[in-house]
Amino acid sequence: MNDHKSDQDSPELELPLPPSKSQRKREAAALQDLGEQLVKRTPAQLRRIPLPEDVLAAVSIAQTITQRGGRKRQLQYIGKLMRRLDDSEIALIDAALATMPAPR
């Protein structure tokens, strides 16, 4: 008789599952919403937020776009750039936005 468990039955060896596609989509949408909040800010407010140069440039471009389709694509691009940031950078951006008055 074999009294010990096999390695396959051991729960501590299980790898964590990657996030589901739905979870990844929710996270991407949240970052895109955060980017949209950035677009609504004034240039003076944006200077007080710790943004990487590429994100700041994309936000500035989005502020000049008036066509709906182009603006939507630019917001998606900002979301893509935001997904490249680590959690601490996103937390800093979120905290900076929380200290500012809501845009009109």
Amino acid code (one letter) for 78: I
pTM (global) more than 0.75: yes
In this prediction, residue 98 carries a pLDDT of 93
In this prediction, residue 8 carries a pLDDT of 53
In this prediction, residue 102 carries a pLDDT of 80
The yes or no reply on domain 21-98 and CATH 1.25.40.10 is no
Integer Cα distance of 23 and 29 in angstroms: 10
Mean of pLDDT over the chain: 89
Sorted by where each begins, the domain ranges of the chain are 21-98
Low-confidence ranges of the chain (pLDDT < 70): 1-13
Query: Is residue 50 within 8 Å of 92, Cβ to Cβ?
Result: yes
Is residue 103 within a helix (H) or strand (E), and if so which, with residue range? none
Query: Cβ contacts of residue 5 below 8 Å, gap of 6+?
Result: none
pLDDT tens, position by position, 27-57: 999 999 999 999 999 999 999 999 999 999 9
